[in-house]
Amino acid sequence: GAVVSQHPSWVICKSGTSVKIECRSLDFQATTMFWYRQFPKQSLMLMATSNEGSKATYEQGVEKDKFLINHASLTLSTLTVTSAHPEDSSFYICSASPLIAGGPQQFFGPGTRLTVL
């Protein structure tokens, strides 16, 4: 089956630093990847839609200058949390949609736990 990986699986950083999270589709190409955020005891909230070779589309209330998304290839999207603050501490999950399937299919990564001190 289709596999999506995320790296790192967890990261701890100091307030004010930037953190990069990678999302890779390991055995398929993905024109579109999605980034979600999940706070403790809450559900996933869509942050942005990442399209290969074009700018990401951000959901209302998500700061594009704070959460930088790059989708440089059909197998890799990165999310960079710039000038991280403790309120950015969360579980970040990506999903990837196969190039060929078209429809609703998407596969989720295992998530990255970010803790900002």
Q: Site residues (CB under 8 A) for other proteins?
A: 6, 32, 34, 36, 42-46, 49, 91, 93, 95, 97, 103-111, 113
Q: Which is nearer to other proteins, 69 or 93 (CB)?
A: 93
User: 13 φ, ψ to 5°?
Assistant: -140, 165
10 Å CB burial of residue 14 (0-12, 13-18, 19+) is exposed
Q: Which is nearer to other proteins, 49 or 70 (CB)?
A: 49
| Dist CA 116 CA 103 (whole Å) | 37
Q: Which is nearer to other proteins, 16 or 105 (CB)?
A: 105
Residue 96: CB minimum distance to other proteins, A: 10
Q: How many alpha carbons fall within 13 Å on the CB side of residue 34?
A: 16
Q: Which is nearer to other proteins, 51 or 82 (CB)?
A: 51
| Dist CA 13 CA 60 (whole Å) | 26
Residue 59: CB minimum distance to other proteins, A: 9
Work out the number of other CB atoms within 10 angstroms of the CB of residue 75: 19
